[in-house]
Amino acid sequence: MRVDRFIRITKGLDIKLKGSPQLIRTAYTSPKVAITPPDFKWITPQLIIEEGATVRVGDSLFIAKENPK
């Protein structure tokens, strides 16, 4: 599902909900995931790791070509 609209909230929003949350289910995990350039339409990514490399949680995958900090 792609969202082409952005809703910007500037001063915060307090949404009061009644009731309790539904049952929380266990998320499925996968040994492989993919990231593609259309996932980040507002930047031009430049990879800083090799394709197919093993990464850990928190590892940087790419930097923005426009702002390489």
Task: Give the pLDDT score at 2.
Answer: 61
* Predicted local distance difference test score (pLDDT) of residue 3: 60
Does some domain include residue 22?
no
The whole-model pTM stands at 0.45
**Each residue's pLDDT tens digit, 8-50:** 778 877 888 888 878 888 888 888 888 887 888 888 888 888 8
Reply yes or no on whether the pLDDT at 1 is more than 60: no
Q: What is the count of structural domains for the chain?
A: 1
- Structural domain contains residue 55: yes
- Please give the residue range of the domain that contains residue 45: 29-69
Structural domain contains residue 69? yes
- Quick check: 69 and 63 in contact, CB under 8 A? yes
In a domain, 8, yes or no: no
**Is residue 15 in a domain?**
no
Give domain status of residue 23, yes or no: no
User: Would residue 49 count as lying in a domain?
Assistant: yes
